[in-house]
Structure 1
Amino acid sequence: MFVIRQIRTDDVPAVLKLARLVHSFNLPADRDSIATKIARSRRSFADRLEDPRERMYMFVLEDLETGNIIGTSMIIGCVSWPGNPHVYLEVSKQSFWSEDLQQGQTHKVLRLGTDETGPSELGGLVLAPGYRGHKDRLGGFLSNVRFHFMGLHRKSFDKRVIAEVMGSLTPDSRNVLWDYLGGRFINLSYLEADVFCQHSKEFITSLFPTDPIYASLLPPEARNLIGRVGDEARPALAMLERQGFKDHGHIDPFDGGPYLEARLDRIPLVRETSRVRVVGTGRVPASRVGIVSVEGDGLPDGPGAFRAVRTTFAEDEGGIRIPRKMLAALGIEVGDKVGLTPTESTRRTPAKATKTTKKSKSGSKGKSS
């Protein structure tokens, strides 16, 4: 069985191991950076941040049979603000025409852009290789739990949501686009620049040219990486596109991977998320599958704790029924309120099975949005 929960301080070694599988700006393979992010995430879940712009929520996927942490994902509540911009390259086209020659050319143009309006960002999605392609669709669970959480706490996030999809790297963790473009203006390797960006983005805006850069001047092997998604990131791209994320011509200045964007209120899984009461357990038909979660300070994971499972469920009068083992995994009882996001079916016919007769607990472990 698998559960997604908020990250804990003792998860640093496991998350560092996962971070070494990818080269993600949001999840650097650096112990101190990860520890800092975990502390920030813990304060975010507990609503104890002095600056609400620093909100960041990190989730881990745990295999309950082994106790191993096998995946991560995160939400950054506010990716930029005045003086701390989100930096990207805008990709556009510019056409030229010669009357005398009666011929023209259209060129792809790159321009450095910044955004200080504070969109929310999805990131840090990593699943251990041995669990990819799992029958329980663990990659989708890790990705979709972020929409589930945002649906429960919509006021904590911006109306715009962005997500970077990793570009293509060489086997020795280089990026050819950086070698021929960014590296010509910034005397750092791709990995060095990526690590330094954890501390400051000033070097990008100070050293990168603001004038248009014509992609035609780059060699084909670099030019072909503009907006290209790495092979391992294609499943993540497909999941984002299913939720309405669109490519608006912005790419990461380091690896050339695309930034996608969606409006929070138009993301299907966000819209379909609600709070319901668990009214029973027992056998539940497998026709409906969704994410069910519980929140509250009374859980073992600490203040503002969050736990979620991917489970079958059935709608019943006044709430839902879920398998008893899922009730135990969440640490709740019949009568408690939970978050619900249907993910894999459209059937909405009420179940007719007999409800569990166990009396409801008073109150709820849910946290108000």
Structure 2
Amino acid sequence: MKFKDLGSYLIIPAQADQPELYLYELKRLEWIFIVVRWVWVPIVFLMAWLHHPDQTELMMALGGVLGFFNIIACLLNIRINTPDTQRVLGIAMLVIDTLLAWGVILVFVRDFYTAAYAGFVYIILEAAVRFGIIGSLSMALVFILGLLGAFLYREAAFEVRFSTSGYAFWTALMTIVSVAVGMIVHEGRRQRRQSEIYLKENTLLTERHRIARDLHDTVLKTLQGLSLEARALGNKMPSAKETARYVEEVCSRTSREIREVIFDLRSESVEEGAGSQLSRMLSDWSKTTGINGDFNLSGADIALPPQTVHQLRNIVSEALTNIQRHASASHIQINMYISHETLHIEISDNGRGIGRNADDLHSFVAEGKLGIAGMKERAELLGGSFSVSSDPAGTAVKFSLPVEKESNK
């Protein structure tokens, strides 16, 4: 393992979508602390032998207690099978480590060797890794209050004058250490979560692009070939011309729908505004049909949920298809604006109009012309409204959809 990867190896997310993976991370972390505790024991003995030979028995007792609880931690770490229980074990061992660290400090309370505080630096690190910056700051507060008590006890028991400068030094040092360690752990967790999110999004995006590519290279080309075959058949056999034209029309409609699906699959950002998507959609349509089109967005753009965007694009696509087939228009205009948490869209053209009552949807359905009825159903499905107005100067399709206020960009 590279040194730069050590942080991400030690730092686990505060939460995880997969409980089994989260449990594995917690167990791995606990094994690291168990190994560190076994390193503590010889260090404690060495400190006792070098500085306080008369306290060797007490230090051996502390080492024995540490070893006993570490064995218990080993056994429990093997048997525990739920993340919540594993976290309880972590809290319990942190409390035990804290008490033993204070035991070491109190053994050296008379002389206050600097090495005695090394244990509490480890406690702050352990609390930070387990519980983030809140854990490290909590342990720093425990140390500051406990150290004050230790200084006062030393002054009363050993007649050693209370050192304000010494207390201030260790208070400042432990505070800085706790904040620094806590921030490092917090940043490590944030970067790891971002990396995991990026990996998931990148995997999803790659798969979406693969599906879009397969649709384009297989289904779409097959439909295009079938459309050409139907046209050729109609030219060769006048008796089958109507059937061939119907097949060609169905293939063309299906091809457009598949292109919409491919476009949605290739969209790299779900945060792209609806206005940007409709503007690009109109631009592509104008290039294909040769009909001039203008898009006007009043106010800020808005990001909509994927399902809403899908229905919105279907409504606009159907309106554009009707204009191309029936309106004989030379120009269309799409206006979009948001008012009172409602998205309003108007699609108007300068064509010849529908030539009948545009709101009489039953007549369109009776004739098998389901486009306008389908647009109305899609709008109402999203909780919106839909209307059509027409005269010899052109047709206007208007619909509105409710949107959440916080979605505004």
| TM-score, length basis structure 2 | 0.20
| Higher relative contact order, chain-length normalized (CA < 8 Å, sep 6+) | 1
| TM-score, length basis structure 1 | 0.22
Higher share in strand: 1
Higher share in helix: 2
If you compute each CA radius of gyration, which structure gives the higher value, 1 or 2? Answer: 2
